[in-house]
Amino acid sequence: MVLCLDMEQNLNLKIMLKTTDKIAVWMESNLDDDYGKMGISALRYLDNEIVCVVDSVFAGKKLSEVSIIKKEIPIIESIDKARSLGANVLILGVLTSGGIRPKSWDPIIKEAVEKGMSIINGLHDQIHPEFSKYFVDENQWIWDTRVPKFTPKIGSAKAADLNNKRVLMIGTDMAAGKMTVGLELYSYLKDKKINTGFVATGQVGITVTGRGIPLDAYKLDHACGAVETAVVEQKDKDIIIVEGQGSILHPGSTATLPLMRGTCPTHMILCHIARNTSIRSLEKIKIPDLKKFIELNENLASVIGTYPKAKVVGVALNTTLMSQEDAENYIEIVEKETGIPATDVIRFGGDRIFSQLL
């Protein structure tokens, strides 16, 4: 995978992640929780060789021993060890609330840069140019993935005129699996030789695919136009998958409407964490009946027929921490309640849902 960003579009910084670059993923104390989703996704989907995970909590183990990702990647304790294993790029694999960089990270970033490593940062807090002064090699770079690369025109529903399928990931909560399900669907369709595009809208998807829009970094008035631009750029694709962000249910999220208006979706996939009955950290916000929630999103997407009719074709469930039997029973219950296919695409594969698009 080659990532090349125009110099003027990224603070006069040219970035190129070559296929030969070797990656270390920094996951300190977050390898086994939701805040580590940047790193987990890189470990799961990035094409580059990942030589190690940096996490002192699990140092000495292999990734397969502490994760559902069955890769024999060593977990080590330090940046120095990562460098000795040949890593020349460090991915900051931990995301924080609000994308704010803790000051405790600064010595880690400085050490990595001073040892000749390039950095991929998924937080709102930029580390270029603050840490660029520590470069020791002319080929080093820092990629702040949440920096908008252009100012779009105001949205105008251009995507509605496209003659293809546009599949938007939606969710009952933030971090409900929208990016993961989107990438799994992308791989599924590519394997079937279908002309497929993927629009990344968050830092994780951008890092993995090498292109996209950091939706939450755009001004609200520009968000819809940014999505529309990214979708229309791939108008030659038979199916365009759009990575979702946030949830219409979440009081802290404004992402759903720009995604719907910019994509003008023809299909949607609902992502839901099976064990949750309310939004995480907001117990008073209960997750409603899934069938009614699906109908709400469908109506919101089409606005009584003004935009293309968008059908939810499946419910992608995250059944982590549930037994096999409990997961299968829950999937069966959701299918009966909603009347549409459901599954855990990581645990059981996505064919049951994804085949609906064929």
Each residue's pLDDT tens digit, 110-131: 999 999 999 999 999 999 999 9
3-state SS, residue 235: coil
Give the pLDDT confidence of 131-148 residue by residue, as tens digits: 999 999 999 999 999 999
Please tell me the distance from the alpha carbon of residue 173 to that of residue 281, in angstroms, as a whole number: 11
Q: How many residues does the chain have?
A: 358
Structure tokens at 64: 């397969």
d(CA 335, CA 340): 5
Average pLDDT over residues 177-201: 97
Please state the rounded mean pLDDT for residues 254-264. Answer: 97
How many CA atoms lie less than 13 Å away from 288 in the CB half-sphere?
A: 11
- Residue 12 CB coordination number (10 Å): 10
Asked whether the predicted pLDDT for residue 4 surpasses 70, the reply is no
Structure token digits, residue 335:
């299918």
Indicate the domain borders of the chain: 3-144, 158-357
In this prediction, residue 17 has a pLDDT band, given cuts at 50, 70 and 90, of confident
Looking at the DSSP assignment, which residues form a beta bridge with residue 143? Answer: 120
**Percent of the chain whose predicted confidence (pLDDT) is above 90:** 89
Q: Please determine, for residue 11, whether its predicted confidence score (pLDDT) is greater than 60.
A: no
What average pLDDT does range 72-77 have in this prediction?
98
Q: Do domains 3-144 and 158-357 have the same CATH topology?
A: yes
Mean pLDDT computed over 154-176: 97
Higher pLDDT, 85 or 98: 85
158-357 placed in CATH 3.40.50.300: yes
Beta strand segments in 179-266, E: 196-199, 239-242
Fold of 3-144: Rossmann fold (3.40.50)
* For residue 8, pLDDT beyond 90: no
pLDDT band at 34 (very low <50, low <70, confident <90, very high): confident
From the CA atom positions of the chain, what is the Rg in Å?
20
- Average pLDDT of every residue of the chain: 93
pTM for the complete prediction?
0.90
pLDDT digits (tens, 9 = 90+) for 198-210: 999 999 899 998 8
